[in-house]
Amino acid sequence: MGRVKLKIKRLENSSGRQVTYSKRRAGILKKAKELSILCDIDIVLLMFSPTGKPTLCLGERRYIFMSFLFNIGKFIHTVGH
């Protein structure tokens, strides 16, 4: 027998949201790292828990992300032009 398709909607119970986030966070991080390896791409994944705690996942070439952060003003100016 297959799995039941769950309807994706916001969980009303705040403690349930936190538990679900905690359980699924590791899976999302694993998928991001796998995608980075398979496609030879840089990954930056920033998530905030329901309580506001950040989780940051950086790929192997972290220096690219740091370079982006230091030059974000130039990037925003170029894109917004």
| 13-72 pLDDT, tens digit each | 999 999 999 999 999 989 998 998 899 888 888 889 998 999 888 777 777 777 777 877
Rounded to two decimals, the pTM is 0.64
Instruction: Count the Cβ atoms, other than its own, within 10 Å of residue 36.
Output: 19
With 0-12 / 13-18 / 19 or more C-beta atoms within 10 angstroms meaning exposed / middle / buried, residue 45 is middle
Residue 22 has a pLDDT of 92
Residue 77: band (very low, low, confident or very high) from pLDDT cuts 50, 70, 90: low
- Number of domains present in the structure of the chain: 1
> Does residue 3 belong to any structural domain of this protein?
no
Q: What share of residues in the chain are helix, strand, coil (percent, to 5)?
A: 55, 10, 35
CATH number at residue 31: 3.40.1810.10
> Does residue 5 belong to any structural domain of this protein?
no
Angle at 73 between CA 69 and CA 76, to 5 degrees: 105
Longest dimension (CA), the chain: 54
Residue 79 has a pLDDT of 52
